[in-house]
Amino acid sequence: MNKSNSAAKLLVIITVVIIGLIIALMFLNNAKNDGSGTTVAEAINIDGQPTIGDDNAPITIVEFGDFKCPACKSWGEMIYPQIEEEYINTGKAKFAFVNVLFHGEESQLGSLAAETVLKHFPEHYWTFHHALFQAQPSSQSHNEPWLTSEKVMELVSGIEGIDVEQFEASFVDKEQLAEVEKDNELVKQYNIQLTPSIMINDTILEDPFDYEAIKNTIEQKLEGM
């Protein structure tokens, strides 16, 4: 009797432990699915950055991107339009872009050109931004230079409303270099290692191409407000 009693007790203990493990695993899975990213101590300050959308929108989405980065071009074509339609056009989110300089001189040049357009012709910033990504060859090798001063001048000349001479004078003098440096400091501050990196308020996403995770993160933050 005693023997079978302790066997029964053992069975109960084992069952409880197994159920506990299953619950813990379910909880871990949920946490992973819901989190989808790293939470930073302080949301980024986007003063002086190019933004699109309602300034008072409760959600701020920041792309740390590089005009030289093929994945950034893809992200802009595949993911950004969905965000724009669902969250930016509806006033729930605004979007900002911070330059990352992972591809050396050409990244510098592209960032400087974009900052120069932003400073002098802010209403044409996004047109130039998209034109620069569009100019990125689809089958480029990282060593093949394409983001040159000539390319920048060609694109700027094609945008109506930009005074090309005024742009060129500022661009050649590198007047907006401090803005490029400021972005580089933000990249260091938030320990950005990959481009694109997407930050939603205080969360840096694990996978910027997972639109469901982007949606979940935004919806959770909206619910929590």
The contact set with Ca ion (CB under 5 A) reads 49, 179, 183
What are the beta bridge partners of residue 95?
52, 61
For Ca ion, give the closer residue by CB, 32 or 130. 130
CA atoms within 13 A on the CB side of 195: 22
DSSP class of residue 53 equals S
Find the shortest distance in angstroms from Cβ 154 to Ca ion: 23
Find the shortest distance in angstroms from Cβ 129 to Ca ion: 11
With CA atoms as reference, report the closest residue to 84 among 114, 63, 115: 63
> In this structure, which amino acid lies at residue 46?
I
For Ca ion, give the closer residue by CB, 112 or 156. 112
CA atoms within 13 A on the CB side of 163: 7
Nearest residue to Ca ion on Cβ basis:
183
For Ca ion, give the closer residue by CB, 129 or 151. 129
Find the shortest distance in angstroms from Cβ 107 to Ca ion: 13
**What sign has the CA pseudo-torsion 21, 27, 33, 35?**
negative
Find the shortest distance in angstroms from Cβ 176 to Ca ion: 9
For Ca ion, give the closer residue by CB, 174 or 215. 174
- The whole-angstrom separation of Cα 132 and Cα 119 is 17
